[in-house]
Chains A and B, each alone.
Chain A
Amino acid sequence: MADAVVEVHDLTDGRDAPQADLDQRDLAFVPRVLAVRRGGSVRFLNGDRVNHHVYSFSPARRFDLRLSKGSAGASLQFDAVGTVVVGCNIHDWMLGYIRVVEGPHFAVTGADGVASFDFEAPLPEGATVSAWHPRFADSDGVVSQPVSARVTIASAKPLKPDPWPASPGYR
């Protein structure tokens, strides 16, 4: 599945997370699912042709930003682990997720639904890998499994509906 945030847990070596940017293009959030390490910050951009009023009421991070078009926007720090559901007040259909993870080993699956990890050291015994997806009905939307070289994570429960209805787009 695309847009799944995969994390390998219990690895302590730190690594800097890349810069997380949340942009709006064509009246949609880009990326749709953004993963950020706890304590990290997310830069909010507006690459769209219109203004956006980005917000979230998620307990993990509440914020609302008015981003005029083309603005570089602000940066917000995310200090709590959890899911931050992001919407645009002007454009009701816009939906994005910022998944704040413990880190440092995490990635978002691509269109092919694959996230790859390179590890220098072998993984300790008991390490798990988890995947979060907005469609997972599991608690918190997270499914965990013991790690192995190649892991396929699937939710045992039926998936929730696709939260991204087709965007009406420009008319």
Chain B
Amino acid sequence: MDRLAPRLFLLVVGVLLATLLVVLALADRASRDQALTEANDRLEAAHGVFREQLRLRLASQAQLTEAVGSDFGLKEEIVAATPGSVSLEVTLRNFQRRGGAAWALATDPEGRILASTTTALPADTRLPFEDVLVEGGAGSLRRVDALLHQVIATPVHAPRPLVVGWLVFGFPLDDANMQNLKQQTGTTFSLLDHRDVRTAVLASGLDPAAREALPDRLLPQEGFTTVVLPQRGEDVVLVRPLDAEAGDRIHVVMQKSLSEALEGFRRLRLQLLVTSLLALALAAAAAWWLSRRISRPLTDMAILARRLGDGQFDTALPAEATGEVGTLARALTVMQHGLRERDEALRAVAYVSGLTGLPNRAGLVDALRPALAETPHVAVVVLDLDHFSDINDTLGHGVGDGLIAEVASRLANAAPPGTRIAHLGGDQFAVAIPVEERGDLDGRVGWIAASLAQPVTVEGLALHLGATLGAAIAPDHGDTAEALLRHAESAMYRGKARRDGGLTVYDPAHDHHSRQRLALMGELRGAIERGELQLHGQPKVHLGRGEVVGVECLVRWQHPVLGMIAPDRFIPLAEQTGQIRQLTAWVIDAATRAMRAAEDQGLSIRWAVNVSALDLLSDDFAGRVTQAMAVAGLAAGQLVIEVTESAAMTDPELAVRQLGELRRAGVKLSIDDYGTGHASMAQLKRLPVDELKIDRSFVKNLASDAEDEAIVSATIALAHRLGLSVVAEGVEDAATAARLAALGCDEIQGYGVARPMPVAELVDWVARHRSAVRAFVGGVAA
């Protein structure tokens, strides 16, 4: 696990535990060594006692045997005895009893047993241990009849030095002796004989179970050792050879209980253990406490660090930590403070407009994010200063900047509480206003226009300001600041396009519409290449002659998805994207081909093509047109170029030049949608046009509307006076046609005559509808 408290705890406890265990082990070892040493000392002492006892016994036994050996009666018996003498045996038995020996026997001077009180050493056999038959011998230990005996032999003199025989006594070292020794010394003695394959226990003070197990568990080697015996536990053992003469075979084994010896130490060990456990518990508690004191501040610091990562610079650390931890905590607090300051500075740079001190787009978005979460109804208004670029270009950026700053300050001062103002950049500002209801908005933006009403004085110049406003309201128009801004901007641009100086509220439908328009714009280029454009033509009928004299070419876009798209939908797009040139080129090309075809089929009429302002702006436009006509082998006079008033006015000089060039080539020129544009009479006068086309808005209600009739009438008169022919667009019925004829209009065009149709069908249509046309305009005097 990684946490500090348990780790420290475990470490301290572990170390202490290990130390205590080592101490306990050492104490155990030391006490055991001590017990062993003491036991060894006691065993050595016991051995000494044993040896001394043997010696004393031997001494007294020797004396006894000697005394018996000098008994006259015995001498007589021995001298008289033959092997197996009963009399001697009886005598021996008597002396044996007197002497406390286990057995007695008498031999002849050569060692042949004359009589014996033990069947183990029968009469008339040689004494197996003749080496004891030594004058003055101190006796030795011999094994007779599975017991060890101290064997004392004394020569029977008659008299000294004449030896008539030997008296041999055997004094046993038996269990009784061992018990005696045990009582005297507190040590358990055993006598082991290793002569045979299996070590025999000749005598022992041990209990039967231990006695049984002893030979197997004990190694027959001299010195100190320990042995574990059943029902006894662990004993310290001293093994010594019993008798030098007996060789290594017979050992006296002395043992004392080690467990008893260790008993005293057991208490010490218990005390040690208890103390250790107590110490352990205390140390553990202390370790835990200390680690908490460290780990808690560390955890707090970790939290602070995490919050720093999240951009929170306000975590407070408890001041209790001391030492290195405290130093770290204080350092972190200082760092937090520094980070906060830097963050604020960064924020200021990132989120604030340098020029105005207001939040910039990023700042507004950042500020709105939490606000939107709280208050769902927020309106974002984007305002764009009108003609700012003109001011910038004319008066310089210094003035422009000063203007922006002034606007910013006015807005800031005028803003009601709860309103956020931002400077999006350039001449765009944004205002975020909380609104309860949608309808509320109008009432809440008045202050914006009011603040801009007064002229701004910059460098001594009084500049009048205007702004276009676009608004998007949450949550209808978006729920994120970015979306709201985007939609508000979109609304603002729409307002700009409509030259609507007020507030335009975002319309999702329009947006959708404009999205679609944008899509179309992109597709338009491909449309030309993919052949999705079709050339249609709408016949123009001459009122006087009652026949088709011309065709206006119209482009239709057969969109694979949207179907047939009318020119008023995509022509403006083309103009915006500059693709109108390619479009017009295509139209010219298609028209010239259609003209050629119609011509070949016998239809010789004038074909009109719409041309935009952009087309007029290109220097080579006129040249291209004439060349196209030439290539098609068509007379220039068969082509009519229709331009709108506004298009002509975009760059009047250039328009005049281009149109003039076309005119000189022989192409006819027509002013389209006359009456709806911005051309003045003076400008019109200068244009080299041949024809005027009255806009359909005037024609539509001509029959019923007196004012429309007046306008049309006047226009026709004006045109004629200027030497121009007049075409009326949007004629829908015969009555209107009649009216127009009465007013002196030259040509008509409209649904009443024919809807636009693919140019390939034109020739056929004209052929089939000759009489219908004549009837439509019939009853009209030429």
Contact = CB atoms under 8 A, between A and B. Distances in A.
Interface string B334-361: 0000000000000000000000000000
A56 B75 CA distance: 10
Contacts of A85: 158-159, 162
* Interface size classification for chain B: 10 to 19
Contacts of B488: none
Contacts of A57: 75-76, 79, 158, 162, 164
A4 interface: no
Contacts of A88: 159
Given A53-B72, A55-B72, A57-B75, A87 B159 contact: yes
Contacts of B157: 87, 92
A163 B75 CA distance: 19
Nearest to B79: A57
Interface in A81-140: 85-89, 92-95
Interface string B155-195: 00111111010000000000000000000000000000000
B159 A95 contact: yes
B409 interface: no
A94 B161 contact: no
Contacts, number: 39
B13 to A, nearest CB: 85
Contacts of B164: 57
B70 A92 contact: yes
B563 to A, nearest CB: 163
A169 B16 CA distance: 84
Interface residues of A, number: 18
B127 to A, nearest CB: 21
A135 B541 CA distance: 197
A139 B209 CA distance: 62
A161 interface: yes
A64 B79 CA distance: 13
A88 B160 CA distance: 10
A95 B162 CA distance: 10
B72 A86 contact: no
Contact of A95 (B72, B79, B160): B160
A55 B76 CA distance: 10
Contact of A93 (B75, B79, B160, B162): B160
Nearest to B76: A57
Nearest to A87: B159
Nearest to B156: A57
Nearest to B71: A89
B161 A87 contact: no
Contacts of A56: 158
B158 A163 contact: no
Nearest to B69: A92
A103 to B, nearest CB: 24
30 contacts: A53-B72, A55-B158, A56-B158, A57-B75, A57-B76, A57-B79, A57-B158, A57-B162, A57-B164, A62-B79, A85-B158, A85-B159, A85-B162, A86-B159, A87-B157, A87-B158, A87-B159, A87-B162, A88-B159, A89-B75, A92-B70, A92-B157, A92-B159, A93-B160, A94-B159, A95-B160, A95-B161, A163-B160, A163-B161, A165-B160
Interface of B: 70, 72, 75-76, 79, 157-162, 164
Q: Which 7 A-B pairs have the closest CB atoms?
A: A87-B159, A57-B158, A57-B79, A89-B72, A85-B162, A163-B161, A95-B159
